[in-house]
A = this chain, B = another copy of it.
Amino acid sequence: MIVLFTDFGPAGPYVGQVKAVLAREAAQQPVIDLLHAAPAMNPRASAYLLAALAPSIQGEATFVCVVDPGVGTDRRPLALRADGRWFVGPDNGLLDVVGKRARQAEWWEITWRPEVLSATFHGRDLFAPVAARLARGDAPPGRRCDSPLGARNWPADLPEVVYLDPYGNAATGLRGSIVGTDVVLRANERCFQPVTTFGDAPAGTAIWYVNSNAHAELAVSEGSAAGSCGLGIGTPVSVLEECP
């Protein structure tokens, strides 16, 4: 299975071009659009979101990861083998959190280049063909390299909003397991009370819960936390014993 995680937007022509390459070069592989609405041009928030979503894909998979504002510059293309699965993407931190949270992580610098490489669309020209090879069982076309994690040294969990979903719920970079239960989350001077699911609180209540990807998520019951609490990508979130 090949899984796509990008900031291409669901509407644009970029996803289709990547999929056409995969249909030619890995015809037997199902291709899953995991997310094309990753925080645009924001590898840091996207890295936490990728690490949250990737475990929801069961079994073997090769992830094509493209949030790549530095495309065409000298940033390296990487392949990461993390707990038995492949992740391909730019060396800008996008793969760091998956690597950091993995029990086993091995890194490669991709040195192969296609005959024709556009300056602005390595997702199509470089990452997709490499992913097709890995999904077919080939070795990464490059050389083993040291972990790039030290370069940025991002934490394993991030106390910030990293994603707003289509309902206006705000996922954080904090795993539920490290937040604990019975605590209150605070963001933008609003307190969010712990619940299990949406129906556990009256309409309009600011709530938080461990979402279906095991991360802490802020919401407003029957409403939009993004809209009514002014949350956005990067809004800091704090964990408190009780609302001050």
Any chain B CB within 8 A of the CB of A83? no
Any chain B CB within 8 A of the CB of A35? yes
Any chain B CB within 8 A of the CB of A40? yes
| Complex partner residue of A11 from B37, B118, B120, CB under 8 angstroms | B37
CB distance B11 to A166 under 8 Å? Answer: yes
Q: A20-B56, A59-B24, A120-B209 are in contact. Are A165 and B13 (CB under 8 A)?
A: yes
Any chain B CB within 8 A of the CB of A72? yes
CB distance B20 to A72 under 8 Å? Answer: no
CB distance B17 to A56 under 8 Å? Answer: yes
* 8 A Cβ contacts from A156-206 to B: 163, 165-167, 196-200
Q: Main SS of the interface on chain A?
A: loop
- Name the residue of chain B whose CB is nearest to the CB of A17: B56
Q: How many residues of A contact B (CB 8 A)?
A: 56
Any chain B CB within 8 A of the CB of A124? yes
A144 to chain B, nearest CB (A): 27
A residues neighboring B (CB under 8 Å): 1, 3, 8-17, 19-21, 23-24, 27, 30, 32-37, 40-41, 53, 56-59, 69-73, 118-121, 124-125, 163, 165-167, 196-200, 209, 211-212, 222
**Closest 8 pairs (CB-CB, A-B):** A9-B166, A72-B197, A121-B212, A118-B212, A73-B199, A119-B197, A16-B34, A11-B37
Query: Knowing that A17-B57, A69-B222 are A-B contacts, what are 7 other residue pairs whose CB atoms are under 8 Å apart, sorted by A's residue number?
Result: A12-B35, A13-B37, A20-B57, A21-B58, A56-B124, A121-B212, A124-B212
